[in-house]
Amino acid sequence: MWSTYLLFILLLICVITDLNERKIYNAVLFPFLLLALIVNSITGGLQGLTDTVFGVFVGLGILFIPFLLGGMGAGDVKLLAVIGGLKGVVFVLTASVFMALAGGIMAIFILVFRKGLKTRLTKILYFYLGLLNGVRFPWLHNEEAMKTTYPYGVAIAAGAIYQAFRVGGIHI
């Protein structure tokens, strides 16, 4: 139960900093990782310690390739690793599915509500028409759009919170 409380505190802090500054700080993540190691070792002994370590590595592994490809920030990867450390392998694997769903929904909202929707939809239409006819449009590539980020820590938090409620450890 302590790990769930720690999880909610961690997520609250990280969502606030990710929304405000587009950063998830190591100064927040590493103390929570240390707390995960301590709490899970005390409550689960050696098994709790190994569950924490495996959870960290699985959490890292889930977002490591998107990070290497430039689609994910390092803070997001480390946040998911700490979540894995706090709650374990099964939790982080399941939460990552809900995280991906939440991230997709966020991306759709950003696509729809950000300025220039008509231009984006036109470019998408031209892109698919070009694919059907074997033509590529190099002018569709927009460097400015490629640099646009959104706070994926919010999607990670949404997936983890949904999983925490789904597991049944928390009741409203």
pLDDT in tens, 114-155: 777 787 778 778 878 877 877 766 655 555 555 567 899 999
Q: List the structure tokens of 87.
A: 């709650």
171 pLDDT tier (thresholds 50, 70, 90): very low
User: Any idea what the Cα angle at residue 37 is, between residues 33 and 43, rounded to 5°?
Assistant: 135
In this structure, are residues 163 and 91 in contact, taking their beta carbons and an 8 Å threshold? yes
pTM for this one? 0.82
Count other Cβ atoms within 10 Å, centred on residue 44.
15
* Per-residue model confidence (pLDDT) at position 86: 94
- For the segment 8-37, the average pLDDT, to the nearest whole number, is 95
Residue position matching structure tokens 């590595």 = 57
With a CB cutoff of 8 Å and minimum separation 6, the contacts of 156 are: 11, 14, 76, 79, 80, 83, 95, 99
